[in-house]
Structure 1
Amino acid sequence: MRTPHVVVVVMGVSGTGKTTIGLLLAARLGVPYAEGDDFHPEANVAKMSAGTPLDDADRGPWLDAIGAWARGRAGLGGVVSCSALKRVYRDRLRAAEPGLVFVHLVGDRALIENRVSHRKGHFMPTALLDSQFATLQPLEADEAGVAVDVAGAPEEIADRAVTALRDLGRPPS
């Protein structure tokens, strides 16, 4: 598969599979993957681990670090995971790299809660799902991106993402 020249942000609430699908999507597109959680400062991880939602001030440096990574991949392609729950967060990412394309992973709340409750070793507790869903602003019509249902096996979801990107007129070609 030919390497796309855009950076794809795999977004959604915790438990939708951003890491799993991001890795699969990057492999299918032949580009590097970056784990959005790795861009969080330690203070953010500690706050979330304690069950306290992040506020916009907490998210700013995290979004800027992801944006810098995306800007560095401009013209080369890449996939990065980032919840990007609010339009203003996505706008901030696009300010760093205007050509970003978003893959919004969406699913039934019960399915996502079940996934989160069975994760081992992740700092995000199930208790924070309510705040994530309350914060979520789905992609708007003027935003470059697609929504992809997370029901099914990861390989199926990644295939749906590739197809949706192709239908959008974005990578892969």
Structure 2
Amino acid sequence: MIVMGVSGSGKSTVAEGIAKRTGWTFAEADEFHPKANIAKMEAGTPLTDEDRWPWLEALNEWMVERAADGESTVITCSALRRIYRDRLRQGLESLDFIHLHGPAEVIAERMKGRKGHFMPPALLQSQIDTLEALEPDESGVVLDLTHSPEQLVDEAVVWLEGADRGGAGEG
């Protein structure tokens, strides 16, 4: 599973909560970025597709390796575009997405309050502009990021346990 959304949407908090609740292995996608990507973002320059491909491939390899061992995973990843999500799915039997979505103003306020994160609030709009909604044939759900982290974890786990996860829907 991938908890997706723009920077500041609460991906790490929710993904960690899901991992604790399910016992799945957690990974923070930011830790897979090459140093050049981090430097670029710290400088306020949005990443290009060319910058993202090695990062997405590393995330996919990590998930595929664990799936081969029968291990379920939950990972954070912006997964902003369909082509990125398609790359992340390669070699996996299934991959679900929990999309944390909400008002840009709420996200911007959260970003201003973060300490020690390389993504500056100035890049938020570039992420919002890049974001492509989950499509009906993608297994995922959209959750309102203004809900509490505990509520979001509950909503995600309830959705995961549901029988019909065939396409994207509102949660």
Which TM-score applies when normalising by structure 1?
0.90
Structure 2, unaligned runs of 5 or more: 166-171
Identity of aligned residues (%): 53
Structure 1 ranges of 4+ moved more than 6 A: none
Superposition TM-score, scaled by structure 2 size = 0.91
Tell me the distance in 1 between the aligned counterparts of 2:147 and 2:4. Answer: 18
The answer to whether the Cα contact below 8 Å between 1:85 and 1:132 also exists between their aligned partners in 2 is yes
2:7 is equivalent to residue 14 of structure 1: yes
1:43-76: CA deviation from partner (whole Å, max 9, x where unpaired): 0000000000000000000000000011012132
In the alignment, what sits opposite 1:34?
27
How do residues 72-87 of structure 1 correspond to structure 2 at under 5 angstroms?
72-74=65-67, 75-87=70-82
Specify every segment of 5 or more residues in structure 1 that has no aligned partner in the other structure, as ranges.
Answer: 1-7
SS of the equivalent of 1:103 reads: strand
Partner of 2:138: 143
Task: Give 2:46's aligned residue.
Answer: 53
**Structure 1 residues 13 and 168: alpha-carbon distance in aligned structure 2, compared to 1, 3 A threshold:** farther
2:124 matches 1:129 = yes
CA contact (8 A) 2:12 2:28 kept: yes
Displacement of 1:141? 0.2
1:23 aligns with 2:16: yes
1:74-109: per-residue Cα shift (whole Å, max 9, x none)? 132010101000000000011142411111111111
Q: 2:99 aligns with which of 101, 104, 129?
A: 104
Q: Residues of 1 paired with 2:143 and 2:153: CA distance? A: 9
Q: 1:67 — aligned with what?
A: 60
Corresponding residue for residue 111 of structure 2? 116
Contact kept in structure 2, 1:48 and 1:124, CA below 8 Å: yes
